């Protein structure tokens, strides 16, 4: 397992020099995680943070009534659970693997010692965090200001941009996608059906094909349908 190569593929460590990458790789642990495994619960002591290599994990909170609210849907290359580590506390939410996944774990104490030895690493990571924060802010804006079809349209556009094609395959089931978009499965299904009836997209099982890109972009911007 070439940990150096895996780290370079993460947006948070891509700017590091070879010597810095090697220093980081010496303190990390590589782990495989099976689907539905809980990585940590809300309130657990923050022993370290993670970078997702493959698969998908969900960060969520549970209300007193048992309802789950998704805070973030982590994609390969992204870092997660770091805030609790640098803040010196406990994990503020739960984390579950949505599918078989691979992660790199960064032990808190060893990582802080590394930053003392290589302070420039901290500056480069902070710069990368800024980009991640902008993405998270956009997600919060979508959840608070946009109706569900607009959130779905934004998600489809995001996936299309990655596939470099007018079609892509859903990487998660509709229940998990509904969690990510801050809604319920039934409402999400109605939104898919509405976009299909409008001739904006076609849905064939997990395969989504965009038919009218301009209309989809308008809906994503909040145009009522």
Q: Which CATH class is domain 146-220?
A: mainly alpha
Decide if pLDDT at 2 tops 60. Answer: yes
* Architecture in CATH of 3-143: Sandwich (2.60)
Q: What is the pLDDT of residue 225?
A: 60
Q: Whole-prediction pTM value?
A: 0.62
- pLDDT tens, 94-144? 999 988 999 999 998 898 898 888 888 877 776 666 555 555 555 555 555
Angle between helices 18-25 and 108-117 (to 10 degrees): 150
- pLDDT tens, 39-94? 999 999 999 999 898 888 999 888 888 888 888 888 787 888 887 777 768 898 99
Domain parsing of the chain, residue ranges: 3-143, 146-220
φ/ψ bin of 109: left (φ > 0), alpha (ψ from -120 to 50), beta (otherwise): alpha
- pLDDT tens, 137-173? 555 555 554 688 888 998 899 888 887 789 898 877 7
Higher pLDDT, 139 or 216: 216
Separation between Cα atoms, residue 171 and residue 159, nearest integer Å: 10
Q: What is the pLDDT of residue 197?
A: 93
Q: What is the pLDDT of residue 162?
A: 80
Separation between Cα atoms, residue 149 and residue 192, nearest integer Å: 8
Q: Where are the alpha helices (DSSP H) in the chain?
A: 3-8, 18-25, 82-87, 108-117, 119-145, 148-163, 174-180, 185-197, 213-220
Q: Do domains 3-143 and 146-220 have the same CATH topology?
A: no
Higher pLDDT, 25 or 13: 25
């Amino acid at each position: 397992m070439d940990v150096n190569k895996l780290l370079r593929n993460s947006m948070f460590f891509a700017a590091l020099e070879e010597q810095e990458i090697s220093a980081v790789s010496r303190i990390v642990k590589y782990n495989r995680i099976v689907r539905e495994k809980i990585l940590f619960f809300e309130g657990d002591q923050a022993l370290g943070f993670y970078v997702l290599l493959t698969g998908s994990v969900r960060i969520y909170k549970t209300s007193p009534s048992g309802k789950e609210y998704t805070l973030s849907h982590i994609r390969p290359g992204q870092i997660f659970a770091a805030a609790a580590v640098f803040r010196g506390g406990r994990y503020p939410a739960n984390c579950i693997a949505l599918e078989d996944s691979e992660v790199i774990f960064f032990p808190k104490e060893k990582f802080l010692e590394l930053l003392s030895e290589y302070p420039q690493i901290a500056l480069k990571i902070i710069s990368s965090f800024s980009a991640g924060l902008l993405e998270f802010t956009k997600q919060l804006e979508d959840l608070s200001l946009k109706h569900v079809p607009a959130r779905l349209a934004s998600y489809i556009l995001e996936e299309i941009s990655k596939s470099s094609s007018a079609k892509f395959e859903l990487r998660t089931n509709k229940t998990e996608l509904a969690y990510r978009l801050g809604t319920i499965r039934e409402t999400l299904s109605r939104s898919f059906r509405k976009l299909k009836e409008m001739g904006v997209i076609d849905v064939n099982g997990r395969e989504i094909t965009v038919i009218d890109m301009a209309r989809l972009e308008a809906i994503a911007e909040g145009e009522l349908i």
